[in-house]
Amino acid sequence: MYCLTDQEVDFILQDIIDRGIITEDLQYNLLDHICILIEQKLEQGADFKECYFSVIKTFYRFELSEIEEETRFLSSYKHHLVFNKKQFFSLVFAIFIGPFILYNILWIDLNWQSERWDIPREVWGASIAYALWPALIIMVVFLTPEKLEPLIPKQSTIIVGIKPFIKIIPHF
């Protein structure tokens, strides 16, 4: 296994700093991960810089400073729940429609041997009537196409907490 020299480690650290990573803990965490990957990939006699530049590209989409921004973002919202769009709408569906479904399942479980089958009409009718409006709103907000500027874009992060209660952060 290849072992990096002190000059190569210093080069990596300086490049991380030059690419916009200013948080010292993040610099050293990235340095550690990058050094491990290079040592695993690099063989004796291979070009260090070529290997380094191929490894560093795997850490970001556009720039390495994205990691710094994401770290600051997550540290500022550490007492909040962070969801993507599908997770958020699954939670909203469970909160608003779940009780109606659960009520009907419990009714079936408790009354499946009952002789009176006119009660289901009352139970299911009310459940469908009261669950329909929230279900339609959830579906419209979730299924709005991107070209119509949806309330919650496809590639967005939704933060749920106390202050703010819900924050939508689009990623373009």
Tokens of 70: 């994401």
Long-range contact pairs involving 128-131 (C-beta distance under 8 Å, separation at least 24) = 128/100, 130/100, 131/96, 131/97, 131/100, 131/101
Least Cα distance to 68 among 17, 32, 33 occurs for 17
Tokens of 166: 């819900």
Please list the pLDDT of the chain residue by residue as tens digits (172 residues).
778 888 989 999 999 999 888 989 999 999 999 999 888 888 766 788 888 888 888 888 888 888 888 888 777 777 788 888 889 999 999 998 888 888 878 877 777 676 665 566 666 777 777 888 888 888 888 888 878 778 888 888 888 888 778 888 887 5
What is the pTM (predicted TM-score) of this model? 0.53
